[in-house]
Amino acid sequence: MATREIISTGNDLSAIAAVDAGCMFFGGYPITPSSEIMHTISDLLPEVGGVCIQMEDEIAGIAAAIGASMSGVRSMTATSGPGVSLKAENLGLAQMAEVPLVLVNVMRGGPSTGLPTRVSQGDVRQSRNPSHGDYRSITLCAGNLAECYTEVVRAFNLADRFMQPVIVLTDETLGHMHGKAMLPELEEIKADIKPRKEFTGAPADYRPYGVGEDEAAILNPMFKGYRYHFTGLHHDAKGFPTEEIETCRKLIQRLEDKVMMHTDEIELNEEFMCDDLGEGDVLIIAYGSVSLAAKEAIRHLRKEGIKAGLFRPITLWPSPANRIRHFTDKVKKVLCVELNIRQYTEEVERVSGRLDIEGLYKVNGRAISPYEIVEKVKGM
């Protein structure tokens, strides 16, 4: 695969990725530590004919992005944890109306306003169910500078494929880290962009939500002569509100099945030095910026004769359950390392059926060092 070298920050790379992926609208509001995404994309979008608007608050930011997406263009917003809390209601609207959207969350300490300038992974649970109701969130998690770019690109493609919001988690460390990233060539990015499905029959026959049991809605862009209704209420095949029992059941079941019956298109993970792990070895599970420290720790541990490997989920939700189970079944010792308290450990326990998983957690806004991971593994 041909690559290009860019020296940049994670936040800037997220903005560059959006424009390269065909994003034409950004609606947002400044919030530490994600503000640079909006700063950068406000320069880039006008150069390609796109629009960036700083709205009056986080709620208006996502509302504008949803409206732009309804018109048929790729649309994005970016924020941090408190902003996601404010956007929650409109994320639910986008799930119910099946409006594609990318949301980048540069995580910081919480809850509430927490630690604005410090790193955290405290939004993992939030990203699984950012709004109330039954649906399946798609959440990706960048683990290095290059993935601040590639996962945003992938998020746009998944959003259009599954017609729903896709969340990309980064964190303060990655967002403000400055370094070299090897990225796919732009031609390769453009080649992977697939247009949203459109109905081309007679307008009278158009049923945007009248699709198969595991299929996403087909929402033609506004202003093209196809009439239908957007609503956050339970709705029929044309989008009009209904309380008919079977219609409501099928709608919500489809929101579940359109994701969970196609997880092979969504799941992605990294397996670092896992091939030779056996029963007496150590499996470390980490994601995001923490995985960089975990890799360094594994190199040190192996030099000292302790065999360890890293399993890193890149798609957090839906979790790569089969691969997690595969590796947790191979070893007796599993260590989850997170900048929160057990937010993904609980998922590993659920998937593996194990209650003996150890954890290394930190919630004071500081990063976890390779040394801390090494000492924890030795203590196991």
Would you say residue 202 lies in a domain? no
163, 191, 219: which is the final residue of a domain?
191
Q: Which of 280, 316, 310 is nearest to 298 (CA)?
A: 310
My answer on whether 296 and 154 are in the same domain is no
What is the rounded average pLDDT of the residues 180-209?
96
My answer on whether 155 and 298 are in the same domain is no
164, 191, 218: which is the final residue of a domain?
191
Would you say residue 351 lies in a domain? yes
Q: Provide the token pair at 300.
A: 């040190």
Would you say residue 53 lies in a domain? yes
My answer on whether 155 and 285 are in the same domain is no
Would you say residue 20 lies in a domain? yes
224-243 pLDDT, tens digit per residue, is 999 999 999 999 999 999 99
In whole angstroms, give the CA distance from residue 339 to residue 141: 14
Whether the per-residue pLDDT at 321 is higher than 90: the answer is yes
What is the rounded average pLDDT of the residues 52-76?
98
Would you say residue 303 lies in a domain? yes
Bridge partner residues of 335 (DSSP): 284, 358
Q: Is 331 helix (H, G, I), strand (E, B) or coil?
A: coil
* Alpha carbon distances (Å) from 204 to 200, 223, 235: 11, 15, 18
What is the rounded average pLDDT of the residues 169-177?
98
The mean pLDDT value of the chain amounts to 97
Give residue 84's domain range: 3-191
- The CATH number of residue 61's host domain is 3.40.50.970
Q: Which of 354, 352, 358, 350 is nearest to 286 (CA)?
A: 358
My answer on whether 187 and 61 are in the same domain is yes
What is the tally of structural domains in the chain?
A: 2
- Reported for 220-223, long-range contacts at CB under 8 A and 24+ positions apart, including other chains, are 220/72, 221/70, 221/71, 221/72, 222/70, 222/71, 222/72, 223/71
Residue 260: which pLDDT band, with cuts at 50, 70 and 90? very high
Q: Provide the token pair at 266.
A: 């969504």
67-114 pLDDT, tens digit per residue, is 999 999 999 999 999 999 999 999 999 999 999 999 999 999 999 999
My answer on whether 173 and 275 are in the same domain is no
Whether the per-residue pLDDT at 1 is higher than 70: the answer is no
Would you say residue 252 lies in a domain? no
What is the rounded average pLDDT of the residues 309-320?
98
My answer on whether 289 and 176 are in the same domain is no
191, 211, 238: which is the final residue of a domain?
191
pTM of the model: 0.97
Would you say residue 246 lies in a domain? no
Whether the per-residue pLDDT at 2 is higher than 80: the answer is no
In the chain, alpha helices (H): 10-20, 35-47, 58-70, 81-97, 124-128, 145-162, 172-176, 186-191, 245-260, 290-303, 321-328, 345-352, 370-379
Would you say residue 36 lies in a domain? yes
109-131 pLDDT, tens digit per residue, is 999 999 999 999 999 999 999 99
- The CATH number of residue 303's host domain is 3.40.50.920
In whole angstroms, give the CA distance from residue 123 to residue 81: 6
Residue 45: which pLDDT band, with cuts at 50, 70 and 90? very high
My answer on whether 37 and 144 are in the same domain is yes
